[in-house]
Homo-oligomer: A and B are copies of this chain.
Amino acid sequence: MLNYSTSEENYIKAIYHLQQQDGNVTTNELAAELKAKPASITDMMKKLKAKKLLHYEPYQGFSLSNEGKKVALGIIRRHRLWEYFLAEKLKFTWDEVHEVAEHLEHVSSKKLIDKLDEFLGFPRVDPHGDPIPDQDGKIETSRQVCLLDLPFNKAAVVSHVSDQSTEILELLKHKNIVIGTKLEVKKKFSFDNSMEVKAGRQPVFTISEQLAKNIFVKYGA
């Protein structure tokens, strides 16, 4: 495995996360994610294509190659192991770990990470509940959880609905939700446990606690 610059790694990681949701990633999407200008994205896409880390044809969007996915999973492994370390050993709170891990993840010694993994007792999920890839880049994909428990901004696919009543189906139909619909939780309100959810590029809409209780979703890395 070659070494990549911090910049390259950040692009690869961002593409990985975006393509979990959309399959094919666009220039503007990635620019928004990385808070960079579209022109910068195009520049880097050419570079990453030349390194065979992604598939890219001008104007057609892009997606990681198998090699690119392997690199991404390595970065995610480092990130999540550091998050676990920070929370578990250094007693950071869950909302503090991400930023520091963003920096630690770019220290790319394989030995360091494998020894850290061992030291931590081979944890399977990070403090946010996201699965940690193993040495070979294998990751526990598709974890089914109740929509109530889905972390924010985590793309997930509706995989199961508990209640089979016509009433719930009427509601789901009205909200355009079927098995296979991609969702992302944007906000939760503790007052009534309702949540705001986004499906694809539709505007955000609200789901009540009673409804969320009955929806189960699968999500990956």
Mark A residues whose CB is within 8 Å of B: 86, 89-92, 96, 99-100, 103-104, 107, 109, 111-112, 115-116, 118-119
Contact of A104 among B96, B99, B107, B119 (CB under 8 A): B107
Q: Which residue of B lies closest to A103 (CB)?
A: B107
State whether A107 touches B115 (Cβ < 8 A): no
Q: Is the interface of A mostly helix, strand, loop or mixed?
A: helix
Residues of B within 8 A of A112 (CB): 86, 90, 100
Interface contacts beyond A92-B115, A103-B109: sample of 4 additional A-B pairs, CB < 8 Å, sorted by A: A89-B119, A90-B119, A100-B111, A100-B112
State whether B90 touches A116 (Cβ < 8 A): yes
Q: Which residue of B lies closest to A86 (CB)?
A: B112
Residues of B within 8 A of A104 (CB): 104, 107
Tell me the minimal C-beta distance from A216 to chain B in angstroms: 37
